[in-house]
Amino acid sequence: MPLTLTLTEGVLPAGTENQAIAQLTEAMLKWHGLTGNQVMTPNVTASVHLLPKSATFSGGKEFRGAWIEWKVPAFAFNDRVIQQGFFKDATEIIHALSGGGQPRENIYVNVVHTVDGAWNLDGQAMTNQQLGEAIAKG
């Protein structure tokens, strides 16, 4: 389940991006009841993108932002309680790691769902059912 964390440079102190990824990963697994799952945990992957302030915008004007985006199967983040809980936790993670300097209103979280059958695990395209069965074994 790829996580993309995009930040304007300076939102987080240099070198704390790995803490953000670890905490966001833990929060996602927690909210889905998958903490410690041997199949799911190593398949939560992430990339960090740091952009200069001149490349991040709000309302067409430069600003400092943080974007947390997940690409997941359709069954992930499909419960309103999970959405609200994770989004709140994710916002607080970035806000806290920024030392309180990044305003919560400039921290954005979204989820993109994949087409059923278009999920790769161990080199095999899996349906939501197959993926769920694999995760259940973990």
The pLDDT of residue 79 is 96
Q: How confident is the model at residue 33 (pLDDT cuts 50, 70, 90)?
A: very high
Q: Is a pLDDT exceeding 90 seen at residue 138?
A: no
**Terminal-residue alpha carbon distance, the chain:** 15
Higher pLDDT, 120 or 24: 24
Length of the chain: 138
Q: How confident is the model at residue 121 (pLDDT cuts 50, 70, 90)?
A: confident
Cβ atoms of residues 23 and 96 within 8 Å:
no
CATH number of 3-136: 3.30.429.10
The pLDDT of residue 42 is 93
Q: Is a pLDDT exceeding 90 seen at residue 119?
A: no
